[in-house]
Structure 1
Amino acid sequence: MNPINHWEIKPFVNELTSIVLGQLVEKKAEKERWKKALNQWGSSMIFVVIATFIYLYYFKLKTASSYINPLTLLFGDEMVWICTAFLIYSGFQIMWMKKKYKKADDDYEAIRTDFIDRNEEWWSDEEQWEKRHIVFEFMKKNYNINIFHK
């Protein structure tokens, strides 16, 4: 939903302000989407590492005889290779997602700071200027976007 079509703030914004606030909400949503994906991949990596250690300890090292080399057990097991491949793939995914998250965060911050810097331009008449705090509070409350200050 476009935040500017909301009945609470519709009378207090003009066309240009509504476009910029809409872009701000979209960039914030994109940033949050990349952050969520990054956290999910990181959590899955941690889960796989823990599951691999549990698998190795309880199913391989406990059941192996004492004369077998542990490195042979480790590198001879295909489950370990599958987990290692997943961890390498996850590492590359996380590096790629960090770049995307950083770009989305930079875009969001650029629009937000530009909006704050050019605050006088967004409110066309005196009534809108006096009631701009309603828009600021609405954006903070509903979208967690702070446009009060940098």
Structure 2
Amino acid sequence: MEAIRTDVDQGTDEATKVILKNVVKRKKKYDHYKSRHFISVYLTLGLAAVFLYYIYRTVLSPYSYSFYEMYEQFFVNPVNLLGTMILAAVYGSMLYFKKKMDKAEKEFHALRCEIVDRSKDLWKSESAWKNRHVVFQKMKDLYDINLFHENK
């Protein structure tokens, strides 16, 4: 955050500094939920693979001669129910983090586009307008936030 203050002082007013801090805060929030979603996706896939292998080895392979026996053996063993519940919980967390990530991305993108649209209002003076590219470049380099264009 301190890097913004020292780099943004070149022709930016307090309102612009607050807006830039907010966009950095929203970017960090988006990155946080993006990493959590990434971890939850691979955790779900890994646990599903392990659980399906376990079901294959304990239920499907030994009792493949009868569907009724497979069905019965699946529900007799409490580990199968526990594994199903754990897998459902991890899948639910994956959906939760996806929802949070999408919401954070939408908020971040909306604020970023607002800065791009209102750049003439935020940098009103001629000297500030000529030096705004320095602020934009610092935001791009330090926080990977593109303020030059509305496109991602």
Q: TM-score, length-normalised on structure 2?
A: 0.84
Structure 1 segments, 4+ long, off by >6 Å, are: 65-68
C-alpha separation between the residues in 2 aligned to 1:44 and 1:126? 53
Answer yes or no: is 1:72 the counterpart of 2:72. Answer: yes
**How far apart, CA to CA, are the structure 2 residues paired with 1:92 and 1:61?**
26
Deviation of residue 16 (structure 1)? 1.3
Segments of structure 2 that go 5 or more residues without pairing to the other structure are none
Shift of 1:66: 6.7
What is residue 131 of structure 1 aligned with on the other side? 131
Unaligned runs of 5+ in 1: none
Report if the CA contact (8 A) 1:14-1:124 is conserved. no
Q: CA deviation at 1:134?
A: 1.0
The percentage of counterpart residues that share the same residue type is 26
1:1-150 to structure 2, matched below 5 A, reads: 1-6=1-6, 8-59=7-58, 61=60, 64=62, 69-150=69-150
Contact kept in structure 2, 1:31 and 1:105, CA below 8 Å:
yes
Q: Give CA-to-partner distance per residue, 1:68-111, whole Å, 9 cap, x none.
A: 72222322222221121012222322333232222211211111
Length-normalised TM-score, structure 1: 0.85
Two-structure CA RMSD over aligned residues (Å): 2.1
- Aligned pair count? 148
